[in-house]
Structure 1
Amino acid sequence: METDLPADISELSAAEIAAELGGLGALLHACVHDGASIGYVLPFAVGDAEAFWRDKVLPAVRGGSRVLWVARRDGRIAGSVQLDHDTPPNQPHRAEVRKLLVHPEFRRQGISRALMAALERRAAGLSRSLLTLDTRTGDVAEPLYASMGYRTVGVIPGYCRDPFADQLDPTTIMYKLLGQGEQAA
């Protein structure tokens, strides 16, 4: 049966994350080595990438405060995204998009959009009407998010270290209102 989806998108349970540490680690490792500004700098080993999923993401998913989706293509993990909905009592309407990753071999095939669509559906199902994220200013993800309805709040200079160079890069803070039309916040 033909599908219009660019990849098979699925939500992973804590047990599935534990079983997929190798594939998840390979994804993160490839993205960092391709220059993605997602919290890591070179040198960056596969073991460090697996530790991120095991020590940071797995406990949050197990605790019910984060949701992780993966995109699979040809039996491989081609991408992932996380919805962090661990917010304080005065922000039950908000969640954060974390670490949208697409393996360099699978980019420009609609995987990012499919992952974000799954995330937005789930966020709405959790009664989250405001999504926030940050992305390195000028990265290819910035216009992608804008095309999906995310609006720029501002740019913070010198926010993070570049993964390759000894320099600080700016980040762009963005948001999207779900199910309310495009109102200014």
Structure 2
Amino acid sequence: MSTTNIRRIDQPTEREIAGLCDVLIDCVEGGASVSFMAPMTREKADAFWRKVAASAARGERALLVAEDESTRILGTVQLIWDLPENQPHRGDLGKMLVHRDARGRGLGAALLQAAEDCARAEGKTLLVLDTVTGSAGYRLYERGGWTRVGEIPNYALMPDGAPCPTTYFYKEIG
């Protein structure tokens, strides 16, 4: 993998919002089931990332980005801290996205490790996530030592409208 910098951003700049939009649009256009249906418009992506940015600025989540030497955003992951008061020890990992141009070079594993490190630094001891069963993300989480909890059939839709199963995973990191 070429030189990549992974960092947390609490108040994304306009350039960073645009880069995050590029990654999200690419992932949806590539068929990833990440809460959005095709066609994925720039307006829809921009609105999503602005909500995420506001939440990160309030400390409700951590937004991590992976950039190349030119500071082009290649991937991102979020950790959601805004959970019920009886769950201060955990976070939800979400929106692990890697641009198709950057896949197969270990970027997903690096983002996952950075997310786990970030959660530990925030005092979290447990992370939870869900992903499409059998997807590249599913395989990444298995390789990363996450524990499979179970599968729910027809849980969500792929961007083209086809139903897909979802698997829940957890990882104790404390």
Given candidates 131, 134, 149, the residue that maps to 1:135 is 131
Query: Partner of 2:8 in structure 1?
Result: 11
Unaligned stretches of 5+ in structure 1? 180-185
SS across alignment from 1:20:
helix
Distance 1:134 1:6 in 2: 29
Query: Partner of 1:41 in structure 2?
Result: 37
% identical aligned pairs:
39
**Maintained 8 Å contact 1:6/1:111:** no
Q: CA deviation at 1:149?
A: 0.9
Structure 1 residue 95 and structure 2 residue 91: aligned? Answer: yes
Structure 1 residue 107 and structure 2 residue 88: aligned? Answer: no
Q: Give CA-to-partner distance per residue, 1:144-164, whole Å, 9 cap, x none.
A: 101111111000111111212
**Maintained 8 Å contact 1:160/1:168:** yes
SS across alignment from 2:104:
coil
SS across alignment from 1:160:
strand
Mapping for residues 28-177 of structure 1, pairs under 5 Å:
28-55=24-51, 57-75=52-70, 76-164=72-160, 166-177=161-172
**Maintained 8 Å contact 1:97/1:133:** yes
Q: Give CA-to-partner distance per residue, 1:114-157, whole Å, 9 cap, x none.
A: 11111111111111111000001111111110111111100011
Unaligned stretches of 5+ in structure 2? none
TM-score (norm 2): 0.94
**Maintained 8 Å contact 1:13/1:61:** yes
**Maintained 8 Å contact 2:2/2:68:** no
- Quick one: structure 1 residues 21 and 172, their matched pair in 2 at CA, closer, same or farther if it must change by over 3 Å? same
**Maintained 8 Å contact 2:79/2:119:** yes
SS across alignment from 2:83:
coil
Paired AA for residue 10 in structure 2: S
CA RMSD of superposed structures (Å): 1.5
SS across alignment from 2:39:
coil
Aligned length: 173
**Maintained 8 Å contact 1:6/1:109:** no
